[in-house]
Amino acid sequence: MKALKQIPSLPNEIIEAAKAGNLVLFIGAGISRMAGHPSWDSFADAVVNQLVNNEVIDHHEKSLINALPDPRKRLSIAKILDEDNGEKVDYKKIFELAEPWCDVYDYINKYDCTFVTTNYDKLIKPKISQGKPETSWRSFKRKYLLNAKLDTRGAVIHLHGCVDDPSSMIVTTKDYLEHYVSDEVPKFLTHLFSTKVVLFLGYGLEETEILEYVLKSSNQKQERQKRLFILQGFFNAEKPLFDKLKSYYEQSFNAELIVFPRDHEDYTQQQAIIRKWCDELEFKDLALADKLAALEADLDE
């Protein structure tokens, strides 16, 4: 069996989309974990520990919550308990990072395109936007999911909210269900996936559930025009699994898996890929006519 390439080639569609101002980077938790932010397990542990410290629950109740294997269920219960007791959990503290563990965001921030993320943290700070008021390029409330923002290079759109406003954060199962049947989110994602070439970074197999929330909510079977690309890591011995997932994403979402090997550097191999791809891409603005079309669509809604 042929070994996976350490740095996979960029598809021509992504290269051309960057030149046309039509590329969107969709960043997931896997990238932030490389920089030092918590995994879902660590995030759940930190929230539950704060509930103990805030005397919302005792250690016996903590052990009952922690016995649940799914960290998102633990988070759902913890957030409900916190809301019932005055919302004292400091989510911002959980995502504080004195010094990133690696340089991955240094390279991501050199991509002069639009960003969408399901991450709560604020490590995406595009160089093209630095020096401008943050409120002009970073948005995280559902009512600000505007089509025109996707046409602004350097815009950062937090689809699941941001630590700056814990009330905006999509954490519980109920949050997810309500979020993805709202008026704003499916419309926004349908526009995104029908008009942009989207490259997903940081969505490993453990993020499959979140990735599918995003992909299934846009009704893209009727609307799809552009291709999606998902950078995902596998061990060389996992080729049968890769082949099955590749077919699944292609048939279900018109999405192409770009695979990299995890055998030597594990998920940190993504940093070398992101750095190399950034050097190969040329970013330009979207045509004025397309920008006007997006503004008109926002006004119509």
Compare 71 and 291 and report the one with higher pLDDT. 71
Whether the predicted pLDDT of 62 surpasses 80: yes
Of the candidate ranges 14-18, 101-105, 113-117, 157-161, the one whose mean pLDDT is the lowest: 101-105
Give residue 136's pLDDT.
Answer: 94
The model's confidence at residue 289, banded by pLDDT at 50, 70 and 90, is: very low
Report d(CA 2, CA 32) in Å as an integer: 31
Residue 147 confidence class, pLDDT cut points 50, 70, 90: confident
Tell me which residue has tokens 């979207």. Answer: 286
110 pLDDT more than 60: yes
224 has pLDDT over 80 = no
Pick the CATH number of 12-37+101-300 from 2.40.160, 3.40.1000, 3.40.1350, 3.40.50: 3.40.50
Tally of CB atoms within 10 A around 65: 20
In this prediction, residue 212 carries a pLDDT of 85
- Give the model's confidence band at 291: pLDDT under 50 very low, under 70 low, under 90 confident, else very high: low
pLDDT tens for 179-202 read 999 999 998 998 899 889 999 999
Which tens digits make up the pLDDT trace of 80-108?
999 999 989 999 999 998 888 889 999 99
Share of the chain above pLDDT 90, in %: 69
Q: Taking the model in full, what pTM does it have? A: 0.91
Domain boundaries, the chain: 12-37+101-300, 40-94
How many angstroms separate the CA atoms of 124 and 106, rounded? 9
Calculate mean pLDDT across residues 254-273. Answer: 94
- The pLDDT mean for the chain works out to 89
Per-residue model confidence (pLDDT) at position 208? 79
Rounded Cα distance between 88 and 113, Å, is: 36
Phi/psi-derived region of residue 116, left when phi > 0, alpha when psi is between -120 and 50, beta in every other case: beta
- Helix runs in 54-148, H state only: 59-66, 71-84, 91-94, 104-108
